[in-house]
Each structure stands twice: as C-alpha cells, then as structure tokens.
Structure 1
Amino acid sequence: MNIEAYNKLVQECKQHHVTLVAVSKTKPVEDILALYNLGQRDFGENYVQEFVEKQQQLPKDIRWHFIGHLQTNKVKQVVGITELIHGVDSFKLLKEINKQSAKINITTNCLLQIHIAQEETKFGLDEEEANALMLEFENLKMKNVNIAGLMGMASFTNDENQIRKEFQYLKSLQAKLSTANRQLSTLSMGMTADYTIAIEEGSTMIRVGSLIFGERKAS
C-alpha cells in the first residue's frame, strides 16, 4: 500500500471538495482496515459476494459504494448496506432497487451510469436513454430510490484531450438533467489514470484503487 500517495490524494481531494472512494475490490480486509485506521471511510467494491463478506467483517461506519455492474437478481443483497450504487444503467435495475428498498423501508442513493467512452465494452446510458429514464422515474414517483447524480468512465487512452472532452460532456449532461426540483449534485468521474483531469472538469467524487493499494494481482 502506498501511504504517501494516499495522503497526497486526501489533501488534493480536501482542497477541491471531492470525495475519495478507495476502490478495494480484490483487496484483503487487512488492507481496508489499515486505510480505515488512517481515517478513510468511503470504499468501493465491484463484486456482490466479495462486498457482502467484507461488509460483515469490517466497521459499520464504513460508507460502501457499489461501483460494479449490478445485476437485478443481486440487488437485494446490496440494498441496505450500500451508501451509493454507482452504476444504474437501466430503468429495470432502478425499479428493482426501489422495490427492494421499499421492502426494508429505506431510500437508496444511486447514480446513473452514462456511456461517455469510445469503447463499446463499457456499460451506460446515452443522453436520450438518460432523459427517458428520468421522466419515467418522476412519472412513477419512486419514493425509495434517490438519483443523486451521474457516473461515467472515460476512454482508456493516453489522449488527454479526448478524456477531457468526455468529462466535459458528462458535466454538461449533469446540468441538462438537473432541474429546480431535481439537483443531480454528485458527479462520479475519475480513476487512478485520469482523476486529476476529472477534478479539473468538475468531478465531485473519484474512484481510486491501484494508486493506493497497488496493482491488482492477476487471478
């Protein structure tokens, strides 16, 4: 673990009022606990089973972010133990989160995942789909889910201009989808390779793993 890099990152995030989500997927609970003891409270997990196991073993004041692709049949496992679900990419998934949240009488915070990258492999909504989802969400008056903002992943490229344009587009979409009654205040964009650009372009939340914990070991 790179404590020096972590401390520098914390200072940078404080300076720009950005939330740092430490991406702890595949990392042992000992590493998470070490970071927790330094004051870190926001952690991000990608895999439901791993996330649930860690959540049971670690301090209850950790704010867990589910940042992976969530399947509808696994929603009930993460609702109630998750601070924020980052990757809502369909109305079907949003409906299921609302349904499972209603069962335990809570409101679950979510982000809409927007496809901003050039790669076709990444999940996410386009602008038209995001607009349609927001309209349907409001028409159905879902009370047990809160759309708090947007999330996006930039292209995996060394072209900083391309990355910057993609982040700028996500920021502009945040403004378009927000209304007087609906403030999408959270903008989750930026990872280890591009978080500095993301912060410059208005990110309010970055998801950083390998810079803090070191590269993931190949399975």
Structure 2
Amino acid sequence: MEYDIRRNIHDVSDSLRPGVELVAVSKYHPDEHIKAAYMEGQRVFGESHERELTEKYRTLPKDIRWHFIGHLQTNKVKYIVPYISMIDSVDSFKLLKEIDRQAAKYERIIDVLLEIRVAQEETKYGFLPDECRRMLDAGQWRELDHVRICGLMTMASNVDDENQIRSEFEQAAALFDEIKQQYFADNEAFRERSWGMSDDYHIAMDCRSTMVRVGSKIFGPRI
C-alpha cells in the first residue's frame, strides 16, 4: 500500500500543469498513508471533519499545510482556526464572519475560498452565483481583518457527461474573472480557482483551475 501511494503521488503530481497546486485529500485515511505521501514531498492535505483533522494535526508533522475542504459548521470553526492553512469551503457570510472572529483571538489571518454552486445537484453546498454577487456587493466582508479571500472553489456535478462537467467549470472560471475584475482587481491574493477532483481534474485544468483536490487516485478507496 505504501509503495502504491508513493508511486501514485508522483503520477498525479507529474500530470499537473505548471501553476496547479495539489491538495491531497486524506480524509478517512490513516496517518501512515499521509506519511507515505509526505515522504515523497507532499505538504498540502485536505480534510473535511474537524475531529479527524485535529487528531491528525496533533500527530503528524507540523509543516503540513491543512486545508478544510468539507462543509464547515460555524460552531466547529474555533477548533481548527489555531492551525488551519486554508478553509476552501466558505458558503455563507455568517461563516466568513465567524472565521474572522475566531481568527482574531489568535491574531491570525485565515486564507479562505468562496464555495460556488454551479452543479445541478441540490445536495451541493455553496453560494449560487447571484448570492455570491450580493454578498460581495453588500461590502461587509471588507471590514473583516482576519480573513483573506483568495479565490473560488466549486465541484462539478457527479455525472459521466464530460461536456456538462466542462460547462460547469467554465461557468466557475467566468465568474472568477467577473469577481476578480469587480472586487479584487488590485488584490494579488485573489488568484485561486479551485476545481477538479480525481475523476475530472484534467478537465478542470483545461478550465484554468489552479488547485485540484485528489484523493482516491492517490490513496485508493477510503478506509
């Protein structure tokens, strides 16, 4: 298993285009699997459950950059704010405000991505594009000193139709351009386009993704 992970991490890394960062999705995988990828140089890992993530933070090397990639409840923010590198899944202003409030206690500035819902599935979280525009138009986010909005994140519909997947990623890329121009034109931090997972990250890179979240292709089936 360890040999496979070590080989897989290189296979995935070698397939990425210049400027695309790999978030190795390690949720539900044990420490030894993460260590195998770490030994090959991987430093960015994604988790989606606060308790599991906190346990791994305690036991694994401290130079790992942890991304929270799942739906985050406001009452869980306080547990991950001391050490999280990025929260990829901000889906409401309420959550953004709570991250800012908790981060202030530690005098930290937390990098975040706004999660956009372009998929057709009702089960997906995220701002609808118009909701995101309204939130940014309202301007209250500008008063938050302890969060840094670094870009957008989305997930495509879980379908086999590559044209639909490509269309959804292209919608996200167009929205990124619009939001960048309108609200973050002079802000270098706003540059991440996070879309693409194990089955569709090659399509995502065609659609200008800068960050892909790959789990099963590296670690195999969840444990």
TM-score range, shorter chain: over 0.9
Task: Pick closer, same or farther for the CA change 1:117–1:59 going to 2, 3 Å.
Answer: same
Q: Does 1:206 align with 2:206?
A: no
Match of 1:24 in 2: 26
Match of 1:108 in 2: 110
TM-score by length of 2: 0.93
CA distance in 1, matches of 2:114, 2:159: 23
Match of 1:216 in 2: 222
Contact 1:80 1:108 survives alignment (8 Å): no
Q: Secondary structure at the match of 1:178?
A: helix
Residues 171-180 or 51-60, more deviating: 171-180
Residues 36-45 or 176-185, more deviating: 176-185
Q: Does 1:142 align with 2:147?
A: no
Contact 1:45 1:68 survives alignment (8 Å): yes
| 1:26-58 deviation per Cα after TM superposition (whole angstroms, max 9, x unaligned) | 100111111101100000001000000000101
Q: Secondary structure at the match of 2:159?
A: coil
Match of 1:77 in 2: 79
Deviant stretches of 4+, over 6 Å: none
Percent identity, aligned pairs only, is: 48
Q: Secondary structure at the match of 1:156?
A: coil
Match of 1:11 in 2: 14
CA distance in 1, matches of 2:7, 2:64: 22
Contact 1:16 1:199 survives alignment (8 Å): no
Selected match of 1:172 from 171, 174, 177: 174
Match of 1:56 in 2: 58
| Amino acid in the other structure paired with 1:153 | M
Give the paired residue count: 216
Task: Pick closer, same or farther for the CA change 1:182–1:134 going to 2, 3 Å.
Answer: farther
For structure 1, the 5+ residue unaligned runs are none
Q: What do you get for the CA RMSD once the two structures are aligned?
A: 1.3
Selected match of 2:163 from 152, 161, 164: 161
For structure 2, the 5+ residue unaligned runs are none
Match of 1:187 in 2: 193
